[in-house]
Amino acid sequence: MHPIVIIGSGMAGYAAAREFRKLNTEQELIMICADDAANYAKPTLSNAFTGKKAPEQIALGDAAKMAAQLNMKIVNHTWVKSIEAQAHQLHLENADGAASMQDYSKLVLAVGANPIRLAIAGDGSDDIHVVNSLNDYKAFRAHIDECHEKRVVILGAGLIGCEFANDLQNTGHSVTVIDLAPQPLGRMLPAHAAEVFKENLEKTGIHFVLGTTVEKVSKDQHGSYFVALASGQSLKADAVLSAIGLQPNTALAKAASIHTRRGVVTNAGLETSQADIYAMGDCAEVNGTLLPYVMPIMQQARALAKTLNGEQTAVHYPAMPVAVKTPAAPLTVLPAPVDADVSWETETLEDGMLAKAVDADGTLRGFVLLGATAGKQRLALTKLVPDLIPAAI
């Protein structure tokens, strides 16, 4: 029998391997990835400064350690160029450009998402950082550590932009966050909660410039940047970080005639439209839903491991709140499903607010817990929210 092959060494790829090995220690398992296969928790990247973690301290294990731990062959620095779904074969290319083939019995796409990049004019635009991997973070930190002044402009006031803003401002940097939307966390928070969240971050010195975008980033001879905004305003910066969102990596799947929409489409069993090919993690659109977070990955990995071991199993999505790592404004959000028609019931607290998204039947569909007092309600409220995908289908 050919091996089970996992493409990708992110949290999804490693979670799938780990869960599978709990059930099956014999079946040959191969992981193929374009990067070095270092195992690390990506969420630690956006609070590493505050946690006093140097980039070298973030990885939990390298490819050799992980291969031994999971009794798995890891082929790193190797791209999967294409999938021949009928033949159950992969075309590979390594860092030296050498091509090879790999057979599989079952294939797991755990290929993640790619940062969206704005087309920005100016001779400084190539220096704009993105952070979606430990290697990206190493490059960003190397740049930041070289800066004399510590002015950082962040494009995007979403979860990742706000977390980096808080982490950098906390540690002696001077941060400006720019977003086209009129509020931070536009996809997660209603306007009234976003306003309080923003005010709390502003108290730390973070500056928000909202309702506009960056048009041009130019460089001067000292290595500083001028960031020109569509509003006519311009800012000086020593580093620019783009965090405007991620796009599921669907190219490989699409080229193999696997059904894709916003992500690689799967059913609740994580099966794609091609036999023996599964998708999970940031690349996957499971039952119509993209959830690019850690908790869904763990649920997916547990279900997929059983399926790969011969017991077809659907993923179970309980309500999974997301903790936003902004200590200046401790926040837990359970976004209501996009198709749910909800109204907000809000309680203002001394140190924040508790806002409940309730549908016409009076069912709690989501919530916002801002501040330590509200945060204590997390478990109790989560239990009241219906599962996104029930335990059994």
Q: Which residues bind ligand FAD (CB under 6 A)?
A: 7-13, 32-35, 42-43, 45-46, 79-80, 110-113, 131-132, 160, 249, 252, 281-282, 292-295, 322, 325
Give the nearer residue to ligand FAD in terms of CB position, either 122 or 161: 161
**In whole angstroms, how close is the CB of 37 to ligand FAD at the nearest point?**
7
Q: Which residues pair with 272 in a beta bridge?
A: none
Residue pair 349/373 in contact by the 8 Å Cβ criterion: yes
**In whole angstroms, how close is the CB of 34 to ligand FAD at the nearest point?**
4
**In whole angstroms, how close is the CB of 234 to ligand FAD at the nearest point?**
27
**In whole angstroms, how close is the CB of 136 to ligand FAD at the nearest point?**
8
Give the nearer residue to ligand FAD in terms of CB position, either 14 or 208: 14
Give the nearer residue to ligand FAD in terms of CB position, either 13 or 122: 13
**In whole angstroms, how close is the CB of 284 to ligand FAD at the nearest point?**
8
The secondary structure of 329-387 as a DSSP string is S-EEEEPPPTT--EEEEEEEETTEEEEEEEETTS-EEEEEEESHHHHTTHHHHHHHSPP
CA–CA distance from 319 to each of 85, 357, 382, 388, 390 (Å)? 34, 13, 6, 6, 10
Give the nearer residue to ligand FAD in terms of CB position, either 44 or 174: 44
Residue type, 33: C
Backbone angles phi and psi of 18, in degrees to 5 = -65, -45
Integer Cα distance of 133 and 306 in angstroms: 28
Give the nearer residue to ligand FAD in terms of CB position, either 37 or 336: 37
Give the nearer residue to ligand FAD in terms of CB position, either 33 or 256: 33
DSSP state, 188?
Answer: T
Give the nearer residue to ligand FAD in terms of CB position, either 10 or 124: 10
Sign of the alpha-carbon dihedral angle for 132, 324, 337, 314: positive
**In whole angstroms, how close is the CB of 68 to ligand FAD at the nearest point?**
19
**In whole angstroms, how close is the CB of 173 to ligand FAD at the nearest point?**
16
Integer Cα distance of 390 and 171 in angstroms: 43
Name every residue whose Cβ is closer than 8 Å to that of residue 379 and which is 6 or more positions away in sequence.
Answer: none
DSSP H or E stretch at residue 168: helix 159-170
Task: Name the strands in the sheet holding 225-229, side by side, starting at the edge strand that comes first in the sequence.
Answer: 214-219, 225-229, 234-237
Name every residue whose Cβ is closer than 8 Å to that of residue 188 and which is 6 or more positions away in sequence.
Answer: 158, 159, 322, 324, 333, 335, 368
**In whole angstroms, how close is the CB of 301 to ligand FAD at the nearest point?**
10
Give the nearer residue to ligand FAD in terms of CB position, either 17 or 252: 252
